[in-house]
A and B are shown apart, each in its own frame.
Chain A
Amino acid sequence: MFSIPTFLDSFGPLFWAARYTLLISVLGIGLGLVIGALVCAAALSSVVWLRRIAGLWVSFLRGVPLLVQLLLFYYLLPVIGIDVPAIFAAVVTVGICASAYISEIWRGAINALPKGQTEAATAIGMAPPDIWTRIVLPQAITLSLPALINELILLVKASSLVSVVGILELTRASQAQAATTFRPLEVYLAAACIYLIINLCLAAFGRYLEHRMAV
């Protein structure tokens, strides 16, 4: 039967492990933002082969399950002579995977801006770099914020897969806990609750941003 004390006792150690879940998601989205910006720039550039590479990048990373990507990078890095801790490989994989989605979010945000604005800026004699830094990017970044929060929520959930390569984040910790207490139901439900708390907070933050932007 379901035992409430076991359920409540599971929270302590799991909360402690959840900081790795947060760390991987936040670093992952940070890396994803940087690479995503580069991929988005390539996708929007006038150079054909850059656009092709960006297209392949996005299509491959969105077409291959994250679990397969994780194992691929995990086994690939030692072969090409890069010896890094597993957590580093995990963050890089999550970040690279996120970059494909983020570049599409930004491309959508940039395309959503009315063309008249850049035309007007050109008409009054603004230089292209100025148009980008003062007209396009500030608006596109604000416009993309809710979608980026959404992506962060997806990453928090996706980070559970990192447990497969042996990183002691929330899911891995709950597996260990379930194995020692023989109470998988209570432990995994507690883990689910922690994920839910994290994601509800993020979703509330996203709604707050959206609300502020709507004004």
Chain B
Amino acid sequence: MEWSILQQYGPMLLRGFGLTILCWLLGTVLGMVLGLVIALVQRYAPRPVGWLVQAYIEVIRGTPFLVQLFVLYYGGPLVGLRLDALPAGILGLTIYGSPYFAEIFRSGFRAVPNGQIEAARAIGMAEPTIVRRILLPLGLVSALPALVNFSIILTKETVILSIITVPELMYQTQRMSTETFRYLEANLVLALFFWALVETISRFGRRLEKRITGYLIERT
């Protein structure tokens, strides 16, 4: 591989990497928020709403992310939803991640002992306070490993955004390789880079997980 190429394309690749991180962070955070809302709706809303939410979960989990992106980005304008590639990509990531996050939160909530919630009701705590003071902190402790794990999985999904022309790292790498005809080297470097990234994040994630779990257990 000619390393001068990397020097020439370095700034472009760096920008792409920045965008990859941005898409991942926004997609993860927004997906988590939407997932939390879904999990709470499933717990407290009446049955018919619960069924609708369940259908949403099944549909999103049963279809490929790429097809969801195509529906959103190419199909959206037909019903008046006109988005640029980047917002469409972030929205796509959010929607794609939300049912997985919702299921993680749901099983986290299920792990909260019923006695604790009953005890809170018995001492006259209002339902919103129970959610805020008991369900959320306790549920989060048991949901945390799975949350970290799925966030790591989402880093890998960001490359699919390149197909709808979001100029993230994969997109920039493809551009570099079509301009220099160095397909193999470019993809090899990209693979090694992602390997390192995912390994680093996993390691960091495991450490964070231990810290936060310890902290939350101390507080609650």
Contact = CB atoms under 8 A, between A and B. Distances in A.
A84 interface: no
Interface size class, chain A: 35 or more
Contacts, number: 120
B188 interface: yes
Contacts of A175: 70
B184 A79 contact: yes
Contact of A189 (B75, B158, B183, B187): B75
Provide the main secondary structure of the chain A interface. helix
Contact of B78 (A79, A156, A183, A191): A183
Contacts of A157: 63-65
Contacts of A161: 64, 66, 160
B62 A68 contact: no
Contacts of B103: none
Contacts of A62: 198
Interface string B184-220: 1001101100110111001000000000000000000
A138 B191 CA distance: 37
Contact of B160 (A2, A67, A72, A79): A67
B53 interface: no
A215 to B, nearest CB: 24
Interface in B56-77: 58-59, 61-68, 70-71, 74-76
Interface residues of B, number: 37
Interface in A159-192: 159-161, 163-164, 171, 174-175, 178, 183-186, 188-189, 191-192
B79 A2 contact: yes
Which 6 A-B residue pairings sit nearest by Cβ, starting from the closest? A185-B75, A160-B64, A184-B74, A63-B198, A65-B156, A199-B62
A199 to B, nearest CB: 4
Interface in A104-159: 153, 156-159
Interface of B: 58-59, 61-68, 70-71, 74-76, 78-79, 156-160, 162-163, 170, 183-184, 187-188, 190-191, 194-195, 197-199, 202
A71 interface: yes
Given A185-B78, A185-B79, A188-B71, A72 B187 contact: yes
Contacts of A186: 75
Contact of B190 (A68, A76, A159, A178): A68
B184 A76 contact: yes
6 contacts: A64-B191, A66-B156, A72-B188, A157-B63, A185-B78, A188-B74
Nearest to A159: B64
B19 to A, nearest CB: 15
B103 to A, nearest CB: 13
A55 B20 CA distance: 27
